[in-house]
A and B are shown apart, each in its own frame.
Chain A
Amino acid sequence: MEIVVYGVINSIVLALLSLGFALVYSISRLPNFAHGALYITAGYLVWLLLNAFGLPYWASIVIGILLTSLIGALIYRLIIIRIRGMEISEIIGTYAVGLAIIEGLRWGGLRGMTYTLPVFIPGSAEIMGVTVDYQRLLIVGAGILTFLLLFLFTKLNRIGLALRGIAQDERAAMMLGIDSDMTALISLAIGSGLAGFAAVLLLPLGNIVVEQGYNVLIFAVAVCVIGGLGSWTGTIVASFIIGFAQILTETLVSSHFVMVVALLAIIVTLLIKPSGIFGKQKQLEERV
């Protein structure tokens, strides 16, 4: 029973982590390797606002997420816009930016146990005989809500429709007057905001440590690659696959292997079916 409950929670955590990465890639074909760095930045910003500026918790969360979106937009406007379309430069560029942020935070003293965010509601409940604290329940609820909102946003909203248009056929969308750069900017801002949102939800469960930046990136890449880069259903299904696989290895083998599972999953998927389980972009499956 414990496996099921924690498997679901872990899966939703993974989905939240990878949502931003998946969104940016599916809309603007941009592998945002700074995703993990943005995640950790958001956590740090919220901590800073909460403890150094003494803002109330809800205000620091809102401002923290907004600032993270702004950073994402700035990364696009200042750096990525100049190397758009050169795949390798995009990877190296975003990865370098992410690395700079993470290592800069480490240098700035973000290490050790001193940085923690408080949980929203302390205490725990019992579900199907398993004790789960409220924060984790909140994560599940917020995760599902985020999916729904995003789904509605892309279906009903003008900007959402523009984003989808660009994602489906960039040229046709541009002919209809949708600014490709603007949508990419928006997508990166939303993606960064989602990373920040995930950070705010998940970081209260542990300490804010910079190494998580790398782990988040690996998890996000794992989920997106397995689900198929650019596919929503794939992202969710893949996070459930990896989520349960990780919980299973953790209970049956040892917690050391959790990361190994994610990494192996990436490699195996790329070898067997590079476009992922639900990948629509068959042209990416370039096998010679």
Chain B
Amino acid sequence: MTMETTRKERIDRGLKVRTEGIYAISSFEEILYLIGPRLLLIVGVLLLPLVLELAPYWKRVVNIMCVYAILALSFDFLANYVGLVCLGGALFIGVGGYLAAIFNVYLSLPFYLSIPLATVFGAGLCTVLILPCLPLRGVYFAIVTLMYPILFSRIIEAMNILGGTNGITGLDSFPGEYIEQYTIIIVMLLALFGMRRLVSQDVGLVLRGVKDNDQSIRASGINVTTMKSLAVFIAALLGCFGGAYIAHLYMWAGLSLFALDFSIIPIAAVVMGGGGTLIGAVIGCFILVPLSEFLRFFGSFRIVIYCIILTGFIVFKSEGLMVYLQRKYHQIERIVKV
């Protein structure tokens, strides 16, 4: 009696192999294969505000979605390319938002100055705050960064500074709806593709080295702490921009900028989208944030739903959506006899 066993085999598509080198682009089919998915994302996102003229309520959601996407990008970058699991996305948002409020309300700078200034100074401040914790790893770094936003909101609450529990009100709004939307959409796209470019550069290689084997980085004469703080600065730039943008969007900076949402949703998005793909983080946000809008009706129950999704993905599909999709796009599967 013979037992026939089969197994699943994965093979790269011919098209993928042919388009791998840049010189191989010889037909429209190949060009489309390469730039198709990217173009789909870019054009799709850019068209979103125009399409949503039909449903004005969802325009706000798109803005928030892009902020979360930026935040998720910064989390993904820090966690999967530098090995720093930073649970304090809310720290970046809060610092950026409060700084924008200070610049705009107390120093009465216009929004096109207060946002960039808050971004840069906020990133600097966050880097300085996180700098002492950089030698920590794994759980410890995660705990400290998780504590920072809580600490800040408690201090503001206890000392009653910066508006106390009421927050700072009266920030300038954006001059027009389209400026408001395209600012964040374009920054999000720039951040996404800039980040992808960055991690494939030499710097990205060194950063990945920091994650995998920091001793070898030291042996190469590169200062690990410098590289880590550089990475934190880059991630904080993104986060603080999001914070400053949100503060101007709501014309208000308050304690809710330090809320857990800003730490949890980006992580859920990264886990869902697939860690280390960068684009997965964005796609995860594009799924989760509208979902949470649909679930607004349920109140705090939507956090339960996030958590279930998050746990489900961590436990059962830890590779994430994007890795799965990429595999389907690039490879064929077939059953072969052994």
Contacts and interface: CB of A to CB of B under 8 A. Distances in A.
Interface of A: 31, 79, 82-83, 87-89, 91-93, 96-97, 99-100, 103-104, 106-107, 218, 221, 225, 254, 256-257, 259-260, 263-264, 266-267, 270-271, 274, 284, 286-288
Interface stretch (B62-70, B95-103, B296-304): B296-304
Contact of A256 (B140, B148, B158): B158
A242 to B, nearest CB: 14
A88 to B, nearest CB: 5
B155 interface: yes
A96 B300 contact: no
B198 interface: no
A96 B154 contact: no
B135 A287 contact: yes
B147 A263 contact: yes
Given A100-B307, A256-B157, A260-B155, 12 more contacts: A79-B315, A88-B142, A91-B87, A92-B310, A93-B311, A96-B306, A221-B143, A260-B154, A270-B133, A270-B136, A274-B135, A286-B136
27 contacts: A82-B316, A83-B318, A87-B138, A88-B79, A88-B138, A88-B142, A91-B85, A91-B142, A93-B310, A93-B311, A96-B307, A97-B307, A99-B303, A100-B308, A100-B311, A103-B303, A103-B304, A104-B304, A225-B143, A260-B155, A260-B158, A263-B147, A264-B151, A267-B147, A267-B148, A270-B140, A286-B137
Contacts of B308: 100
Given A100-B308, A107-B301, A260-B154, A89 B139 contact: no
A76 to B, nearest CB: 12
A288 B139 contact: no
Nearest to B138: A87
Given A103-B303, A103-B307, A288-B224, A257 B158 contact: yes
B292 interface: no
A91 B139 contact: yes
Interface in B118-158: 132-133, 135-140, 142-144, 147-148, 150-151, 154-155, 157-158
B154 A92 contact: no
B150 A263 contact: yes
Contacts of B173: none
Contacts of A83: 314-315, 318
A87 B139 contact: yes
Contact of B304 (A87, A107, A254, A259): A107
Contacts of B79: 88
A274 B144 CA distance: 11
A117 B300 CA distance: 25
B157 to A, nearest CB: 7
Nearest to B215: A288
Contacts of A264: 151
Contacts of B137: 286
A267 B304 contact: no
Contact of A89 (B143, B214, B318): B318
Nearest to A75: B311
Contacts of B299: 107
Contacts of B144: 266-267, 270
B300 A103 contact: yes
Interface string B228-256: 00000000000000000000000000000
Chain A CB within 10 Å, residue with most, of B144, B267, B316: B144
A263 B154 contact: yes
B225 interface: yes
B151 A267 contact: yes
A79 B315 CA distance: 7
A155 B307 CA distance: 38
Q: Which 4 pairs between the two chains have the least Cβ-Cβ distance?
A: A256-B158, A100-B307, A103-B303, A107-B301
A34 to B, nearest CB: 10
B132 A271 contact: yes
B284 to A, nearest CB: 14
B264 interface: yes
B206 interface: no
Interface in B253-307: 260, 264, 267-268, 271, 298-301, 303-304, 306-307
A288 B264 CA distance: 28
A288 B214 contact: yes
A99 B135 CA distance: 28
A275 to B, nearest CB: 9
Given A82-B315, A87-B139, A107-B299, A266 B147 contact: yes
